[in-house]
Amino acid sequence: MPELKNDRFLRALERQPVDRTPIWIMRQAGRYLPEYRAVREKAGDFMTLCQTPELACEVTLQPLERFDLDAAILFSDILTIPHAMGLGLHFVKGEGPRFSHPVRDRRAIDALPRPDAETDLGYVMDAVRVIRRELDGRVPLIGFSGSPWTLATYMVEGGSSRDFRRIKGLMYEDPETLHRLLARVADSVTDYLNAQIAAGAQAVQIFDTWGGVLSPATYREFSLAYMQRIVEGLTRESDGRRVPVILFTKNGGQWLEAIADAGPDALGIDWTTDLDDARGRVGERVALQGNLDPNVLYAGPERIRAEVERVLAAFGHGEGHVFNLGHGIHPQIDPDHVRVLVDAVHELSAPYHG
């Protein structure tokens, strides 16, 4: 493998000194980029784009051509594992992902196979290998998965949900059955992330998009416990370098201490928690990633720079900060505003280091 030319992102995750705060953007390869929309159209449907390694590689690299980003993230969908389990993922225009075969009872759950990551999900590992080759050491590549709880919400509800009534109904009425599902998904996620790491992912992030809809006790029991199980099963070193793990629970600001206890290298923080607060609570144990409200990017350059400065100042001097949005970038954002953001982070962060 070629030497890594820019390792700010990995160094920040290990709370090592950097010259500038590194930045990447959740959903940086996505619909706000016209060149992404062109490839998406060429591919026909979204799953074809995910399942064709050359196309997945192409869109993964697109934002790096435009912006001075410090990491690439594998282009894929968070629902590849349930799809490989046979649930029949498809997308309904304007309504998001849907499963043809949701799982809602013990029998369906016990019948779920444990996918083989290298064969059943080989298109993902091929994409990782192609991207690593094409990156040629420019920046590190992030692999990822949804959290077991988050994947299970889609698997039980059959798609997106506002009230999570089916999975929470199961959780309250028959917690043992839900635990069987979560254990099975957690083992598959562990396999999946380890295969990504073996294929070349240099850091991994677990997206717990829906953990924040739980209560403190059910969050620990049904979401965090399974993320911890994954963290404990991951390969944490590759090519002689640590492979850091980032846990991101959207709306998890009340539980940062517990999340840090699960053993990750870093926590993703959304904008509902200030970074000075988060750093005071867990900054001695983990790095922090975040936390600009994606909606700031609708404003003009002056305001974007002011908000970047505010986020940098909130984390303050010293190491362990990876800049990011607090959630994925919106499709309507002007790419020129993203350039303002990325450049502002590098320019304005220098005084906070060294």
Does 31 qualify as catalytic in the annotation?
Answer: yes
Smallest distance from the beta carbon of 174 to a copy of itself, in angstroms? 9
Least distance from a copy of itself to the Cβ atom of residue 214, Å: 7
DSSP β-bridge partners for residue 250: none
Q: Does residue 296 touch a copy of itself according to CB under 8 A?
A: yes
The single residue among 236, 330, 339, 353 that binds a copy of itself, judged by CB under 8 A, is 330
Q: How many CA atoms lie within 13 A of 204 on its CB side?
A: 34
Distance, CA of 248 to CA of 234 (rounded, Å): 16
Residue 299 touching a copy of itself (CB under 8 A): yes
Query: Could you say whether residue 78 binds a copy of itself (CB under 8 A)?
Result: no
Q: Contact between 293 and a copy of itself (CB under 8 A)?
A: yes
DSSP state of 86: T
DSSP code of residue 291? E
Site string for a copy of itself, 146-165 (x = CB under 8 A): -----------------xxx
- Cβ–Cβ < 8 Å for 256, 267: yes
Q: Using the rule CB under 8 A, is 172 a contact of a copy of itself?
A: yes
The interface with a copy of itself within residues 234-263 (CB under 8 A) comprises 251, 253-254
Catalytic residue among 8, 11, 15, 27: 27
Active site residue 77: yes
Task: Please tell me whether residue 236 adopts helix, strand or coil conformation.
Answer: coil
CA distance 282 to 66: 34
Torsion (CA) 305, 306, 312, 315 in degrees, nearest 10: -150
Catalytic residue list contains 27? yes
Q: Is residue 294 at the binding interface for a copy of itself, with CB under 8 A as the rule? A: yes
- Interacting residue with a copy of itself among 277, 309, 352, 353 (CB under 8 A): 277
Q: Which is nearer to a copy of itself, 128 or 278 (CB)?
A: 278
User: With CB under 8 A, what is the number of residues at the site for a copy of itself?
Assistant: 34
Length of the chain: 354
142 in contact with a copy of itself (CB under 8 A): no
Q: Distance between CA atoms of 237 and 38, rounded to whole angstroms?
A: 37
90 binds a copy of itself per the rule CB under 8 A: no
Instruction: Return the exposure string of 314-329: e unless at least 16 CB atoms fall within 10 Å of the residue's CB, then b.
Output: bbeeebbbbbbbbbbb
Interface pick for a copy of itself out of 272, 309, 352, 353 (rule CB under 8 A): 272
Rounded CA separation 205/268 (Å): 9
* 3-state DSSP percent of the chain in helix, strand and coil, to 5: 50, 15, 35
Residues 6+ apart with CB under 8 A from 251: 211, 212, 213, 270, 272
Q: Which is nearer to a copy of itself, 3 or 302 (CB)?
A: 302
Is residue 168 a contact point for a copy of itself (CB under 8 A)? yes
| Continuous segment of H or E residues that includes residue 110 | helix 106-110
In the complex with a copy of itself, which residue's Cβ is closer, 65 or 163? 163
Please say which residue, 35 or 277, places its beta carbon nearer to a copy of itself. Answer: 277
Residue 338 DSSP SS3: helix
Using the minimum distance from each CB to a copy of itself, give the nearer residue, 192 or 255.
255
By the 10 Å C-beta count (0-12 exposed, 13-18 middle, 19+ buried), 3 is classed as exposed
Task: Check if 154 is active-site.
Answer: yes
Between 215 and 240, CB nearer to a copy of itself: 215
Task: List, by residue number, the catalytic residues.
Answer: 27, 31, 40, 77, 154
Residues near a copy of itself (CB under 8 A): 163-165, 168-169, 171-173, 212-218, 251, 253-254, 271-274, 277, 293-296, 298-300, 303, 307, 330, 332
